[in-house]
Amino acid sequence: MDRTAESVWIQCLSFIKDNIKPQAYKTWFEPIKPVKLSGEALTIQVPSKFFYEWLEEHYIKLLRVALVRELGDQAKLIYDVRMENTYSSNSPQTVKIPSSNRNPLKPQKVTVPIESKRELKNPFVIPGLQKVKIESQLNPNYNFNNFVEGDANRLARSAGMAVANKPGGTSFNPLLIYGGVGLGKTHLAHAIGVEIKDKYPDKTVLYISSEKFTQQFIDSVKSNTRNDFIHFYQMIDVLLIDDVQFLSGKAGTQDVFFHIFNHLHQNGKQVILTSDKAPVDMQDIEQRLLSRFKWGLSAELQTPDYETRISILQNKLFRDGVDMPEDIVEYIAKNIKSNIRELEGVIISMIAQASFNRKEFTLELARQIVDKFVKNTKKEVSIDYIQKVVSKYFDMDVATLQSKTRKRHVVQARQLAMFFAKRMTKSSLASIGSQIGQRDHATVLHACKTVDNLTETDKQFKKYVEDLTKKLTF
């Protein structure tokens, strides 16, 4: 059977998928399209020059191994870079980047021409209003130096650094950082802004919460200065909006932000957003706005693992000039798992208690403070725990629950696990699906609707839900 570009690339992806993390695969390899196979030369289409440069810098060795496995030692790779034209309906530009003779998988460095932007007429220009110095509202203490990197945040941090180095000039526009409470979304947004201000002092950077943005818009409507409000935001070079999920249900604010976003994006300005939900999970946000959130990169901040929690605590102690015994640091890291804010809160409480009462740091003091934090924090059940409880209830192992089998009792157990994961955790639908058998967010959404329907129509199923609710509530 004749091999095609698509069949070769599918085999390459199968190998690549087994060797990198799912989130990295989804971000950097799913958007690639196989275009042409000519002998040992495979042409792939990538969305931008930045995308190609990132692949070359971070994944060229992996690509080399994958292609050599499929096409032999003489394998060559050609990038077909698509330059999207946001100012007309013409087809995107195509720039082919050939492989080098010296290194079959090392593309030559070339300058990809970018279409020159034509001047857009701005209907909101106010005569005599000059670009004035705008206070960025950034907190310099939230920077990359004290944002500890780990598996849970590596993609978001790397994307943030890329944006800081080249604001408005990467594929990550907008950059949407999402995750649960206290995982570092605001810190990372500030860090990007601080880094941009340091590298590009002439750029106008503004950080603002979505609530403040909404209130400013309401005030502008009341005072009949809506156009001034819009024009002000159109002057910003880098706009960071925190907790964008709070725009939900606010049609007027969403409409004005839609127009501001379009203007900034079309003029090569950078937009950075944070949210406690992925775009797919946001309720009451207009589809046209959600579609723009998906133009760039949505990067999730997850709960830090044990090693990262240790690093965060050590970093905090070092910054504060405090020396704390290793066993106490380890105890705190093992017992405070939910978020970074609580980790730092325990350290602050430890320092305060030891200082005010003139006591040494002891394991007993750590236990007392940790116990208070745990008691005062509503416990969040983990997805792993939910799967274990549901599996045990239906007398099966977790592997069976996560399997591809379509047996009715297994499917129902899997759907119940997804239902409780959505109800009892802050995880996104995509994250729930990934952890329960590598399903997608649509499968989780369907599972939740099925459980709701069966609970109302099937007495036995309703009993399952009631029994499991008791077992999972503590």
Same domain for 259 and 389?
A: no
- The CA distance from 403 to 386, in Å, is 16
Q: What's the pLDDT score for residue 57?
A: 75
Same domain for 361 and 449?
A: no
The first and second tokens of residue 256, run together, are: 């004005």
Residue range 179-185: mean pLDDT, rounded? 81
Q: Is residue 124 part of a domain?
A: no
Same domain for 400 and 363?
A: no
- The CA distance from 425 to 380, in Å, is 6
Q: What percent of the chain has pLDDT over 90?
A: 14
Q: Which residue has the higher pLDDT, 1 or 216?
A: 216
- The CA distance from 30 to 47, in Å, is 11
Q: What's the pLDDT score for residue 93?
A: 40
Same domain for 190 and 265?
A: yes
- Its sign, for the CA torsion 381, 387, 391, 396, is negative
Residue range 142-156: mean pLDDT, rounded? 83
> How many CB atoms sit inside 10 A of residue 75's CB?
23
Q: Which residue has the higher pLDDT, 88 or 160?
A: 160
- The CA distance from 240 to 140, in Å, is 15
In terms of DSSP H, where are the helices of 277-362? 287-293, 306-319, 326-335, 340-356
Same domain for 189 and 238?
A: yes
| pLDDT (tens digit per residue) in 352-402 | 776 666 667 777 777 777 877 665 444 557 898 899 999 999 989 899 999
CATH of the domain at 328: 1.10.8.60
Beta strands 93-97 and 76-83 are antiparallel
| pLDDT (tens digit per residue) in 7-26 | 999 999 998 988 888 877 88
Q: What percent of the chain has pLDDT over 70?
A: 85
Same domain for 418 and 358?
A: no
Q: Is residue 139 part of a domain?
A: no
Q: What's the pLDDT score for residue 380?
A: 57
pLDDT at residue 418 greater than cutoff 90: yes
E-only strand ranges, 180-281:
205-209, 238-242, 270-275
pLDDT at residue 73 greater than cutoff 80: yes
Q: What's the pLDDT score for residue 121?
A: 32
Residues belonging to the binding site are: 182, 184-186
Same domain for 174 and 282?
A: yes
CATH of the domain at 437: 1.10.1750.10
The one-letter code for the residue type at 16 is I
Out of 59-73, 128-142, 241-255, which region has the weakest mean confidence (pLDDT)?
Answer: 128-142
pLDDT band at 1 (very low <50, low <70, confident <90, very high): low
Domain, as residue range, for 234: 144-301
Residue range 198-223: mean pLDDT, rounded? 88
Residue range 255-275: mean pLDDT, rounded? 89
pLDDT at residue 135 greater than cutoff 90: no
- Mean pLDDT taken over the chain: 79
The first and second tokens of residue 438, run together, are: 């590598």
DSSP conformational letter for 474:
-
Residues belonging to the binding site for ATP are: 182, 184-186
Same domain for 175 and 272?
A: yes
Q: What's the pLDDT score for residue 108?
A: 37
pLDDT band at 412 (very low <50, low <70, confident <90, very high): very high
Q: What's the pLDDT score for residue 118?
A: 29
pLDDT at residue 271 greater than cutoff 90: yes
CATH of the domain at 290: 3.40.50.300
| Domain stops at, among 301, 321, 349 | 301
- The CA distance from 300 to 188, in Å, is 12
Same domain for 325 and 432?
A: no
Same domain for 257 and 313?
A: no
| Domain stops at, among 346, 376, 406 | 376
Measuring CA to CA, how many Å separate 448 from each of 241, 422, 432, 465?
Answer: 31, 8, 12, 12
Residue range 95-109: mean pLDDT, rounded? 41
Three-class secondary structure of residue 362 per DSSP: coil
Helix (H) / strand (E) element for 185: namely helix 185-199
Three-class secondary structure of residue 434 per DSSP: helix
| Domain stops at, among 274, 301, 328 | 301
Q: Best-predicted range by mean pLDDT among 189-198, 350-359, 465-474? A: 189-198
